[in-house]
């Protein structure tokens, strides 16, 4: 299949009109949102929805999010909204928040993977909003990556995964937030975060009071996540990833990187600007490390995480070592993704020792204390 690529610099209305026409005809179009790029289909057309699963290689038991452009558009999709659901819509839409509500009959089974609930979001990105309005239907859209790879946050990353498989790609530049939407179940008495994302736990609590977080999100393999998609090892780069967390994470990462360099290992280092500057100040020329920094704070990490994981795939180091951040604010979402990318191979860098937080068979050079 030929994949159209619209740059949107000149005449965006015409491009969005063409893309909407393809959606109405049951084809797939990738489009930018404020979180990551989505792979869209007419959400009320079961045949079109099936194409999403085929293009991504997505397991059929992982339901999709329906994207709408106006609040009233949710009414035909659900049999009723709880008070919590209405409060969240009023406060956080349009934006990076998905709510899970009871589904209505008009929704194809493919969208909900057979569940009695449906996930709905109203994005704020102007291209997403214009596309949904022009198509005149809710747009079912997961992230526009091949299943298992990091989500795309620019149109080139979408093209890498989807060229030849879908009808078109709308290029709206880089996504601002960079991690997927927060998914909140509004059908339970206490609203529950099923996937942390761009709207933080603190923001939800300020509006609703008590909010729970699905305990399965910590990576305990004995617990079954309530969002079916959260059980898959998403976001994984090709090389194995090892993480340091805790108060001395930056120091232990710096020392481990120096040791790897002495041994001539080809290693990826994922860190912030401070650690990168420190390493570059002490490394010899022609060193063997691939040091990629996300910038300064958590918003930078959220914005660049997936792009950096994809960059590591191109650089092909033998392994990647990185550092975590605390779980306040956006930290909950980024650490959820980063820990998954690491397959939960995590060391805790305490003040006076390195402990294993989870995982096993760590390379020796990550564990030795500095002589």
**Alpha helix (H) ranges present in 136-172?**
155-162
For the CB of residue 238, give the shortest distance to ligand AMP in the complex, in Å: 20
Name beta bridge partners: 241: 320
CA atoms within 13 A on the CB side of 162: 34
Return the residue of 98, 143, 154, 187 that touches Mg ion, per CB under 5 A: 143
For the CB of residue 38, give the shortest distance to ligand AMP in the complex, in Å: 7
Contact range with Mg ion by CB under 5 A, out of 38-46, 55-63, 141-149, 289-297: 141-149
CA distance 184 to 243: 28
Contact residues for ligand AMP (CB under 6 A)? 62-65, 100, 112, 115, 117-119, 142-143, 180, 183, 194-195, 226-230
- Nearer CB in complex with ligand AMP: 35/293: 35
CA distance 339 to 245: 10
Q: In what order do the strands lie in the sheet with 4-6?
A: 4-6, 168-170, 29-31, 38-42, 139-140, 65-67, 117-121, 97-102, 182-185, 192-195, 212-213
- Nearer CB in complex with ligand AMP: 226/248: 226
For the CB of residue 116, give the shortest distance to ligand AMP in the complex, in Å: 8
CA distance 138 to 156: 25
- Choose the one of Mg ion, ligand AMP, none that binds residue 100, judging by a C-beta under 5 to 8 angstroms depending on kind: ligand AMP
- Nearer CB in complex with Mg ion: 143/261: 143
- Choose the one of Mg ion, ligand AMP, none that binds residue 214, judging by a C-beta under 5 to 8 angstroms depending on kind: none
Q: Which helix (H) or strand (E) holds 290?
A: strand 289-293
Q: Per CB under 5 A, does 181 bind Mg ion? A: no
- Nearer CB in complex with ligand AMP: 177/289: 177
* Token duo for residue 177: 């937030």
- Nearer CB in complex with ligand AMP: 88/275: 88
- Choose the one of Mg ion, ligand AMP, none that binds residue 227, judging by a C-beta under 5 to 8 angstroms depending on kind: ligand AMP
- Choose the one of ligand AMP, Mg ion, none that binds residue 117, judging by a C-beta under 5 to 8 angstroms depending on kind: ligand AMP
For the CB of residue 181, give the shortest distance to Mg ion in the complex, in Å: 10
Q: How many CB atoms lie within 10 A of CB 266?
A: 15
Q: Which helix (H) or strand (E) holds 100?
A: strand 97-102
For the CB of residue 263, give the shortest distance to ligand AMP in the complex, in Å: 39
* Token duo for residue 191: 């609203």
């Amino acid at each position: 299949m030929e994949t159209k690529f619209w740059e949107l610099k000149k005449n965006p209305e015409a491009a969005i009109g063409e893309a909407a026409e393809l959606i109405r005809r049951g084809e797939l179009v990738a489009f930018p949102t404020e979180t990551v790029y989505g792979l869209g289909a007419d959400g009320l057309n079961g045949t079109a929805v099936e194409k999403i699963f085929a293009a991504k290689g997505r397991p059929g038991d992982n339901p999709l999010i329906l994207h709408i452009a106006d609040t009233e558009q949710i009414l035909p999709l659900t049999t009723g909204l709880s008070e919590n659901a209405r409060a969240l819509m009023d406060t956080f839409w349009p934006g990076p928040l998905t709510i899970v509500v009871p589904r209505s009959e008009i929704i194809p089974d493919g969208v909900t993977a057979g569940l009695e609930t449906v996930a709905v979001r109203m994005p704020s990105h102007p291209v997403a909003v214009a596309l949904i309005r022009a198509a005149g239907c809710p747009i079912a859209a997961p992230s526009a990556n091949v299943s298992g790879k990091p989500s795309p946050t620019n149109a080139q990353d979408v093209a890498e995964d989807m060229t030849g498989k879908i009808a078109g790609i709308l290029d709206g530049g880089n996504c601002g937030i960079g991690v997927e939407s927060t998914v909140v179940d509004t059908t339970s008495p206490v609203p529950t975060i099923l996937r942390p994302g761009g709207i933080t736990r603190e923001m939800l609590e300020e509006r609703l009071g008590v909010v729970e977080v699905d305990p399965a999100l910590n990576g305990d393999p004995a617990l079954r996540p309530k969002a079916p998609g959260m059980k898959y090892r998403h976001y994984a780069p090709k090389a194995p990833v090892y993480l340091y967390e805790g108060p001395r994470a930056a120091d232990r990462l710096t020392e481990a990187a120096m040791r790897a360099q002495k041994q001539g290992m080809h290693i990826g280092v994922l860190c912030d600007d401070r650690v990168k500057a420190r390493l570059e100040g002490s490394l010899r020329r022609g060193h063997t490390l691939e040091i990629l920094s996300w910038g300064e704070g958590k918003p930078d990490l959220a914005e660049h995480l997936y792009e950096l994981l994809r960059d590591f795939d191109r650089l092909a180091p033998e392994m990647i070592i990185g550092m975590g951040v605390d779980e306040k604010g956006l930290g909950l979402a980024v650490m959820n993704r980063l820990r998954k990318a690491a397959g939960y191979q995590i060391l805790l860098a305490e003040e006076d020792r390195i402990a294993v937080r989870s995982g096993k068979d760590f390379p020796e050079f990550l564990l030795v204390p500095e002589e």
